[in-house]
Amino acid sequence: MVEERELVNRAFRVILLGIEEVVGKNGMSAVLRTANLAQYIDNYPPSNTERGGHPLHYMSDINRALYEIYGMRGARAILYRVGRGRAKKAIEENATFANAVKMAVSLLPRRMKVKLALERISREYSQQMGTDVRVFEEGEFFFWEDAHCPGCIGWSSETAVCHTTAGFIFGVLAWGADDEDFKVQEVLCRAKGDAVCRYQIAIHA
């Protein structure tokens, strides 16, 4: 079952740090209490790759808590910003891997940089998040697809809700290509009844 999958300690730590950076320490405490995860207040997981008992649905619980506290519009903005911050923190927390990716893509044409960055980061993301991301090209677009997306477990919504992942993808690509000339849009979401969460990535030039 999807719910039995677990995030590694570092992945969940990065998520919590990213939210705290946006909403502040008191705001973070409120989010964790609303998500019924008060055990993490001032008690984030260590920065290692062990699995410390953090089920994937904890991410969805936190996202829903943000919606409950800040409303749809506020939560959307916060989650996207959290995703971008999460990309930054993930890069900082995985410096050796990140530097290897940066070196690998540094001399490539822009589209190839994007493709290679997506492929390499998605593999690391899948391993740390306990999920299975598939990256592919179709026409002019790249796609990031996750059949076990942790951001919307148990949700039912008329609109896409996984804004953290969209922000994360944008942040990773902006770092990998050294610019922000991208558009990332969630075009399928399991919260809407789709089989997968799928993000369309448009690049320019």
Beta strands in the chain (DSSP E): 6-7, 54-55, 133-138, 141-146, 182-188, 197-203
Whether 1 shows a pLDDT value over 60: the answer reads: no
- pLDDT confidence of residue 106: 67
- Pairwise pLDDT comparison (122 vs 29), residue with the higher score: 29
Whether 205 shows a pLDDT value over 60: the answer reads: no
Bridge-based pairing of strands 133-138 and 54-55 is unpaired
- pLDDT confidence of residue 124: 80
**Average pLDDT, stretch 48-60?**
90
> By mean pLDDT, which of 36-50, 56-70, 161-175 is the weakest?
161-175
**Which pLDDT tens digit goes with each residue over 124-156?**
888 888 788 999 999 999 999 999 898 899 888
- pLDDT confidence of residue 101: 63
- pLDDT confidence of residue 129: 82
Residue 60 — very low, low, confident or very high, per pLDDT cuts 50/70/90? very high
Q: How many domains does the chain have?
A: 1
- pLDDT confidence of residue 192: 95
| pTM of the predicted structure, to 2 decimals | 0.83
Domain membership of residue 16 as a residue range: 2-203
In whole angstroms, what separates CA 27 from the centre of its chain?
A: 20
Considering the chain, what is the average pLDDT of its residues? 86
- pLDDT confidence of residue 175: 77
- The answer to whether residues 27 and 73 touch, using CB atoms and an 8 Å cutoff, is no
- The answer to whether residues 60 and 150 touch, using CB atoms and an 8 Å cutoff, is yes
- The contacts of residue 63 (CB under 8 Å, 6+ apart) are 75, 79, 151, 152, 161, 162, 164
> By mean pLDDT, which of 55-59, 78-82, 93-97, 106-110 is the weakest?
93-97
Q: Give me the residues paired with residue 203 across strands.
A: 182
At 160, which CATH number? Answer: 3.90.1520.10
**Average pLDDT, stretch 185-204?**
93
- pLDDT confidence of residue 100: 62
